[in-house]
Amino acid sequence: MKSIAELEEIRKKALDKMGIRTNTEGYRVVVGMATCGIAAGARPVMNAFMEELNKRGIKNTSVTMTGCIGVCRLEPIVEVIDPDGNKTTYVKMNAEKAVRVVTEHIVNGRVCVDLTIGSEEKK
Amino acid sequence: MQIYRAHVLVCGGTGCVSSSSEKIMSEFETHLNNNNLTNEVKVVKTGCFGLCARGPIVVVYPEGCMYTMVKVEDVKEIVEEHLLKGRIVRRLLENKHDDEGVETSIEGVEFFKKQLRIALRNCGVINPELIEEYIAFDGYKALAKVLTEMTPEEVIDTIKRSGLRGRGGGGFPTGLKWEFTAKSQDDQKFVCCNADEGDPGAFMDRSVLEGDPHSVIEAMAIAGYAVGANQGYIYIRAEYPIAVKRLNIAIEQAKEYGLLGKNIFGTDFNFDLEIRLGAGAFVCGEETALMTSIEGKRGEPRPRPPFPAVKGLWNKPTLLNNVETYANIPPIINKGAEWFASIGTEKSKGTKVFAVGGNINNTGLVEVPMGTTLREVVYDIGGGIPNGKKFKAAQTGGPSGGCIPASHLDAPIDYDSLIQLGSMMGSGGLIVMDEDTCMVDIAKFFLEFTVDESCGKCPPCRIGTKRMLEILDRITEGKGEIEDITKLEVLAKNIKASALCGLGQTAPNPILSTLRYFKDEYMAHVTDKKCTAGVCKSMMQYVINADMCKSCGICAKVCPVKCISGEKKVPYVIDSSKCVKCGACMEKCPFKAIFKNV
């Protein structure tokens, strides 16, 4: 170890890997993973979220699962909760849509309105 | 870089390892693999969470769910329900009382609410075998700050102003110790760490070394810089294999990163560290005996002065601190002396770790601010006494300490008030005793320990403690006389005044403090030949209540010496002359008709 800068670099890198244990800020992505969700293809959706977040190096976003939300016909369902606690519910998700949610919603803060439960119900 | 969506933290402390936490870890690996989750979920081995009574402990992040008493068979369910489907396995949660699912996180557990973790800050949070995780939580930042921004005098001044006192038991101001060693002039100085934790029931230092070994390594390097030493030794007992293993790993990693060795942080400061294993002699926790043992000689104390700060290891100035003392150093440097001094009481700053055991629900490791009352530790954190029994006394300081009776439950725990109560802080063992405890028997237990562990060098300890034990033996056998109590008092005071080292000087404390608060129990043993707690076997008898006995004969069947006789429709009788007082009959009697007659 030759300098404080070097130590700081190791610290940041290691903290990124452990952020999940300390992170209380940032977005939370909650994927419905009950039987209905899994049958409708929730796993590829979650994997797509993980991959995209990894690819972009976004560390303050956690991906968790939940049980059946109750609207099984709209599965796979994903809820995105922003740092202020506002919840957006996306329905009939797939891997491509997941990538879009990461890019538009989590990175740029713009809700993908056309994918939400509200716009689906209007159809 | 791989990011995981969940971390499964499995406790790798000695307590949980002995209840198969290692099997649980490998079971997690297996089931994660079966469910194709290995790329999403990471399993991490951590140090002690402190709630040892409820181990093995598993914490799942990001939710921070704390699962307790997890069995190998439960792992499949946790993986398939929680990690795959996101459904928390409620039956394994520590805080079950909350059915609404709001409070599923570790922060909500009652056991942790009144605790403040400084020395244990990383225990149960990081993987102790990965230096990167320690660095992530500001590890080695204090060492960097000290080496690049502070003079040795400034470091010592910071420690002095923080008010930190030795956590090994004595409570000597740490900053002063550092100053004395720094002022000694010599071509070679040493820094030592006392990890020879020997009090029965104490495991604070073991947990720090198992859960956060780097904090001790970092602090020793800081101490080396402050006092002018370039070589350190950690003296640890060989009975702590997990701690030794993790320390070795930690030292290796610190060397790889250049945090030990030459020119640390590009400065001209060099520091190296070695481990010395002790064979488990209690006396080697005494500083002069410890250093003699490091030198490779028989572990015996020597008179002081000269103090180690002047003549220590190989007659060179040596700084010796306890594990927990060292673990407090990096946070003090990082957050400042004022921050540390703001915690605790006027003369006892910061926090203290206690290993809580005995008749208490939450056996385990707790860290509380100095000045927390005994009641808070026993009832709020410790969860109270099992089976609705009454609190009788708490023993602190192990074989060197004393008992605090129920009348002082609201006494604040700090160095000075414990001394006033006739006990001492000690290294942090806290044994809770309920109403079924005989205080004479407790004094005897601790004295047996010191008699065994006396090194034999000085007569007051070698002969004196043995004589005291003989008197206690007589008293507990119902052969004591009233003069025995006076003899005990005289002997205790003389040994205290004349023994060579701390072991002998403090050996009478358990007797003196029980005599102080429970003299009536001693008197009952001596004059009435009665042990009210029903512990001393020669003073009690098992009897069968004839009205309650249904003549089932179960007692006669379990009796190992066949001293119970009777027949159908006639109450059974115990022949006291043959009874060995094992208590098996009382335990088995379906009608609760057998009693202890004291």
Beta strands in B370-497 (DSSP E): 391-396, 402-405, 429-434
**Whether residue B330 is found in the same domain as residue B202:** yes
Q: What is the DSSP string of B57-116?
A: -EEEETTTEEE-S--TTHHHHIIIIIIIH----GGGBS-TT-TTSS--BGGG-HHHHT--
Mean pLDDT score, B48-66: 88
Go through B346-376 and write b for each residue having 16 or more CB atoms within 10 A of its CB, e for each that does not.
eebbbbbbbbbbbbbbbbbbbbbbbbbbbeb
CA-to-CA dists, residue B418 to A87, B358, B394, B536, angstroms? 53, 19, 11, 29
Number of domains in chain B: 5
Question: Which token pair is B580?
Answer: 């060995």
Give a yes or no: residue B117 inside a domain.
no
**Whether residue B143 is found in the same domain as residue B209:** yes
Residue-averaged pLDDT of chain B? 92
Give the pLDDT confidence score for residue A24 in this predicted structure: 61
Is A5 at the interface with chain B, CB within 8 A? no
Give a yes or no: residue B580 inside a domain.
yes
Chain centre distance of CA B17:
17
**Whether residue B199 is found in the same domain as residue B295:** yes
Q: CB distance A53–B258 less than 8 Å?
A: no
Give the pLDDT confidence score for residue B98 in this predicted structure: 47
- For residue B490, the domain's CATH number is 1.20.1440.230
CA proximity to B544, closest of B509, B503, B585, B505: B585
Cis-peptide into B571, omega within 30 deg: no
**Whether residue B65 is found in the same domain as residue B92:** yes
* Local structure of B413: helix, strand or coil: coil
Is A34 at the interface with chain B, CB within 8 A? yes
- For residue B428, the domain's CATH number is 3.10.20.600
Give the pLDDT confidence score for residue B495 in this predicted structure: 97
Q: CB distance A20–B5 less than 8 Å?
A: yes
Q: Which CATH superfamily is domain A23-122 in?
A: Glutaredoxin (3.40.30.10)
Q: ipTM value of the model?
A: 0.77
Question: Which token pair is B478?
Answer: 């119902």
Each domain of chain A, given as residue ranges in start order, spans 23-122
Residue length of chain A: 123
Q: CB distance B61–A21 less than 8 Å?
A: yes
Give me the residue label for tokens 């540390």: B340
Is A17 at the interface with chain B, CB within 8 A? yes
Asked whether the beta carbons of B367 and B351 are under 8 A apart, the reply is yes
Is B86 at the interface with chain A, CB within 8 A? yes
Mean pLDDT score, B232-259: 95
CA-to-CA dists, residue B549 to B83, B570, B571, B575, angstroms? 55, 8, 6, 16
What is the number of other CB atoms lying within 10 angstroms of the CB of residue B405? 18
Q: Which of A57-66, B58-67, B332-341, B507-516 has the lowest mean pLDDT?
A: A57-66
- From the number of C-beta atoms within 10 Å of its C-beta (0-12, 13-18, 19+), residue B211 rates as buried
Q: What is the DSSP string of B319-364?
A: EEEEHHHHHHHHHHHHH-HHHHHTSB-SSSBSEEEEEEEES-SS-E
Is B43 at the interface with chain A, CB within 8 A? no
**Whether residue B443 is found in the same domain as residue B555:** no
- From the number of C-beta atoms within 10 Å of its C-beta (0-12, 13-18, 19+), residue B78 rates as buried
CA proximity to B101, closest of B88, B83, B86, B82: B88
Give the pLDDT confidence score for residue A61 in this predicted structure: 85
CA proximity to B278, closest of B262, B263, B259, B297: B297
Give the sign of the dihedral formed by CA B523, CA B525, CA B529, CA B533. Answer: positive
Give a yes or no: residue B116 inside a domain.
no
Give a yes or no: residue B200 inside a domain.
yes
Question: Which token pair is B244?
Answer: 């030794």
Is A20 at the interface with chain B, CB within 8 A? yes
Q: Which residues constitute the domain of residue B194?
A: 131-340
**Whether residue B287 is found in the same domain as residue B311:** yes
pLDDT over threshold 80, residue B108: no
**Whether residue B183 is found in the same domain as residue B288:** yes
Give the pLDDT confidence score for residue B173 in this predicted structure: 97
Q: Which of A90-99, B96-105, B361-370 has the lowest mean pLDDT?
A: B96-105
Q: What is the pLDDT of residues B473-510, one digit of tens each?
A: 999 999 999 999 999 999 999 999 999 999 999 999 99
CA-to-CA dists, residue B72 to A90, B19, B39, B93, B489, angstroms? 37, 10, 22, 15, 53
Q: What is the pLDDT of residues B172-205, one digit of tens each?
A: 999 999 999 999 999 999 999 999 998 888 999 9
Share of chain B above pLDDT 90, in %: 79
Residues B231, B245: Cα–Cα separation, whole Å: 20
Give a yes or no: residue B368 inside a domain.
yes
| Packing angle of the helix pair B141-149, B213-227 (nearest 10 deg) | 10
Question: Which token pair is B374?
Answer: 């005994």
Q: End-to-end CA distance of chain A, in Å?
A: 61
CA-to-CA dists, residue B166 to B175, B180, B202, B278, angstroms? 9, 15, 16, 21
Q: CB distance B257–A13 less than 8 Å?
A: no
| Packing angle of the helix pair B323-335, B213-227 (nearest 10 deg) | 80
Give the pLDDT confidence score for residue A22 in this predicted structure: 67
Residues B48, B28: Cα–Cα separation, whole Å: 19
pLDDT over threshold 60, residue B99: no
* Local structure of B274: helix, strand or coil: strand
* B165 DSSP 8-state letter: B
Asked whether the beta carbons of B375 and B409 are under 8 A apart, the reply is yes
Asked whether the beta carbons of B28 and B8 are under 8 A apart, the reply is yes
Residues B288, B300: Cα–Cα separation, whole Å: 7
**Whether residue B261 is found in the same domain as residue B240:** yes
Measured in degrees and rounded to the nearest 5, phi and psi for residue B464 equal: -60, -45
**Whether residue B31 is found in the same domain as residue B151:** no
Residues B241, B246: Cα–Cα separation, whole Å: 9
CA proximity to B247, closest of B286, B281, B276: B276
- From the number of C-beta atoms within 10 Å of its C-beta (0-12, 13-18, 19+), residue B400 rates as buried
Mean pLDDT score, B43-49: 91
Give a yes or no: residue B25 inside a domain.
yes
- Name chain A contacts of B78, Cβ cutoff 8 Å: none
pLDDT over threshold 80, residue A18: no
pLDDT over threshold 80, residue A68: no
> Does A34 or B359 have the greater pLDDT score?
B359
The domain boundary, picked from B527, B559, B586, lies at: B527
CA proximity to B571, closest of B598, B595, B547, B542: B547
Give a yes or no: residue B168 inside a domain.
yes
pLDDT over threshold 70, residue B402: yes
Asked whether the beta carbons of B319 and B235 are under 8 A apart, the reply is no
Nearest-CA distance A73 → chain B (Å): 18
pLDDT over threshold 80, residue A21: no
Three-state DSSP string of chain A: CCCHHHHHHHHHHHHHHHHHHHCCCCCEEEEECCHHHHHCCHHHHHHHHHHHHHHHCCCCCEEEEECCCCCHHHCCCEEEECCCCCEEEECCCCHHHHHHHHHHHHHCCCCCHHHEHHHHHHC
pLDDT over threshold 50, residue A118: yes
Give a yes or no: residue B126 inside a domain.
no
Is B4 at the interface with chain A, CB within 8 A? yes
Question: Which stretch, A6-15, B121-130, B477-486, has highest mean pLDDT?
Answer: B477-486
Side chain identity, residue B480: G
Is A39 at the interface with chain B, CB within 8 A? no
The domain boundary, picked from B340, B373, B405, lies at: B340
Which element (helix H / strand E) includes B488?
A: helix B482-498
Q: CB distance B3–A62 less than 8 Å?
A: no
pLDDT over threshold 50, residue B102: no
Question: Which token pair is B25?
Answer: 């870890």
* Local structure of B192: helix, strand or coil: strand
Nearest CA in chain A to B127: A18
Residue-averaged pLDDT of chain A? 84
Of B63, B141, B266, the CB nearest to A64: B63
- For residue B276, the domain's CATH number is 3.40.50.11540
Name residue B291's beta-bridge partners. Answer: none
